[in-house]
């Protein structure tokens, strides 16, 4: 029998590796341009969307996108959502997850490389750092220098000041989605805004500054669960940023490569220039294969393409590809891509179904609603003339302009309805005025004659006297 090893003798090692500062080098090319365009689009929407106006009529807020916590509303252009419509938000979360799964099935971590807020803001901070301190070599040299000069102090002060300004603007833009943006900006400048607004701005300023300015790739590697989830969701046909080792190996220097080829000996296209490593925002070597750290941003593709063009060799030594294609090329076969396959079809179908259900719900939802709650103590009362009375608490919800609704009871013959505090109309139907965007609570008494049968279902229906729109709720009428 093997001798057990006491836990004290196990060497578990560190829980995480110490951070090694990454110095991404400036690069230009197709994927860098895509990242610039998406960055401008995402930041432009985030920072300026609160100032976009949308006319909803008198008495309604005119901010296109607004989370009105005070009144319990969410406005998105022509869509107005109430807390009762939480299923819409559930549907949005499901759509977001399915879209993320579809992106992963097509192009790996495309979300991480181009659209993730951590990537976008870190990219902005990198650009500021590069603008002030210089490119990769200059930054490495300055950080390695002993002592500190006045020029270095000025550079660092300016860099961190701009970082804090960007972070502050990020936090400030966030709170604008929860109140009228121009009004809140004026209140913030004059120090008349609610204390909660300043608190949230401070929190988001601090988190943006720390996560994008200091932690950077550590957030993706240790804090974000998606790299680990993504690995379980991907398959062999998903396109990932891949070093095509079938073409790149054996890697040798450019001079040695020329000599080998002149002698008729094999030599790979990779000249071991390390440009793919130098431009990587997470500091990995893509030639070592697919790694969890890689955010699939494609900057190494641009860097490698630049080198290949300079030495007169075909581009896309690094490209979005699959290991299947590498094996096929080594076997003398052509590339094959399967963007349309059962997995992607299933995701598209689910997105269409969920999206269609949400659109149908929005298109057919009622702007008038009723909720009925039966009194439990007493549950029923027999009056002096032998008739039976049940009492209910009725809540009417009106999502449109002021309207007058009539209240009817169905399923109980010869019953009379009385709304406490309301006069009954000549028709015998109580009519109630419900204000715009209001929930009105009523005390309703339903009386049945003594000859009524036993307990039975009862339907209360409200009808807009002008448009005819109705809403109904079912409860029970109980005999004592």
Residue (of 109, 101, 100, 93) closest to 217 by Cα position: 109
Per-residue pLDDT of the chain (480 residues; tens, 9 = 90+): 456 667 666 666 676 677 789 999 999 999 999 999 999 999 999 999 999 999 987 778 899 999 998 888 899 998 888 887 888 889 999 999 999 999 999 998 999 999 999 999 999 999 999 999 999 999 999 999 888 899 999 999 999 999 999 999 999 999 999 999 999 999 999 999 999 999 999 999 999 999 999 999 999 988 999 888 888 888 899 999 999 999 988 888 888 988 888 888 888 899 999 999 999 999 999 999 988 889 999 999 999 999 999 999 999 999 999 999 999 999 999 999 999 999 999 999 999 999 999 999 888 888 888 899 998 888 888 898 888 999 999 999 888 778 889 998 988 888 888 898 876 655 568 888 888 778 889 999 998 888 776 778 889 999 998 888 889 999 988 887
Residue (of 444, 428, 449) closest to 385 by Cα position: 449
DSSP string, 85-150: GHHHHHHHHHHHHHHHHHHHHHHSSHIIIII-HHHHHHHHHHHHHHHHH-SHHHHHHHHHSSS--H
Distance (Å, rounded) from C-alpha 56 to C-alpha 71? 16
Residue (of 115, 75, 124) closest to 96 by Cα position: 115
Q: How do residues 387-439 score in pLDDT, each as one tens digit?
A: 899 999 999 988 877 888 999 898 888 888 889 887 665 556 888 888 877 88
Paired residues of 477 in beta bridges: 456
CB atoms < 10 A from the CB of 35, how many?
21
What the block records as the tokens of 303 is 């860097």
Give the Å distances, CA to CA, from 156 to 142, 175, 469: 11, 29, 65
Q: How do residues 163-180 score in pLDDT, each as one tens digit?
A: 999 999 999 999 999 999
Interacting residues of 181 by C-beta distance below 8 A, sequence separation 6+: 50, 51, 63
- pLDDT at res. 57: 78
Would strands 431-434 and 403-410 be described as parallel, antiparallel, or unpaired?
Answer: antiparallel
């Amino acid at each position: 029998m093997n001798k057990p090893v006491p836990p004290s003798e196990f060497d578990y090692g560190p829980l995480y590796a110490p951070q090694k500062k990454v110095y991404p080098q400036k690069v230009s090319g197709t994927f860098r341009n895509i990242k610039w365009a998406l960055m401008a689009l995402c930041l432009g929407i985030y920072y300026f969307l609160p100032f976009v106006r949308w006319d909803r009529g008198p008495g309604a807020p005119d901010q296109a996108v607004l989370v009105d916590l005070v009144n319990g509303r969410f406005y998105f252009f022509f869509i107005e959502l109430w807390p009762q419509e939480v299923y819409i938000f559930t549907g949005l979360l499901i759509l977001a997850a399915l879209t993320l799964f579809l992106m992963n099935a097509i192009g790996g971590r495309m979300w991480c490389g181009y659209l993730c807020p951590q990537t976008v803001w870190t990219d902005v901070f990198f650009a500021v750092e590069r603008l002030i301190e210089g490119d990769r070599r200059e930054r490495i040299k300055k950080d390695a220098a002993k002592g500190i000069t006045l020029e270095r102090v000025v550079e660092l002060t300016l860099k961190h000041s701009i970082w804090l300004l960007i972070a502050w603007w990020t936090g400030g833009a966030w709170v604008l989605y929860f109140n009228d943006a121009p009004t809140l900006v004026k209140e913030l400048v004059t120090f008349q805004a609610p204390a909660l607004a300043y608190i949230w701005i401070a929190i988001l300023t601090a988190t943006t500054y720390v996560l994008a300015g200091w932690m950077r790739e550590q957030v993706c590697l240790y804090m974000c669960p998606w790299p680990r989830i993504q690995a379980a969701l991907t398959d062999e046909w998903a396109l990932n940023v891949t070093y095509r080792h079938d073409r790149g190996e054996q890697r040798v220097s450019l001079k040695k490569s020329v000599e080998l080829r002149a002698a008729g000996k094999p030599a790979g296209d990779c000249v071991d220039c390390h440009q793919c490593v130098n431009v990587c925002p997470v500091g990995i070597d893509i030639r070592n294969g697919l790694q969890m750290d890689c955010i699939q941003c494609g900057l190494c593709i641009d860097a490698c393409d630049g080198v290949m063009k300079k030495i007169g060799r075909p581009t896309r030594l690094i490209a979005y590809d699959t290991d299947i294609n590498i094996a096929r090329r080594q076997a003398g076969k052509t590339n094959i891509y399967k963007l349309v396959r059962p997995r992607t079809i299933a995701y598209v179908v689910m997105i269409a179904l969920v999206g269609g259900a949400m659109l149908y719900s929005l298109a057919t939802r009622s702007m008038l609603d009723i909720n009925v709650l039966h009194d439990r103590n007493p549950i029923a009362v027999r009056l002096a003339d032998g008739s039976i009375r049940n009492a209910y608490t009725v809540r009417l919800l009106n999502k449109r302009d002021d309207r007058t609704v009539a209240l009817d009871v169905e399923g109980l013959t010869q019953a009379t309805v009385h709304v406490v505090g309301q006069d009954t109309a000549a028709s015998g139907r109580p009519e109630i005025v419900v204000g715009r965007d209001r929930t009105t609570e009523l005390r309703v008494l339903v009386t049945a004659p003594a000859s009524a049968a036993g307990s039975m279902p009862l339907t209360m229906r409200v009808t807009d006297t002008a448009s005819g729109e109705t809403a109904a709720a079912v409860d029970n009428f109980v005999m004592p």
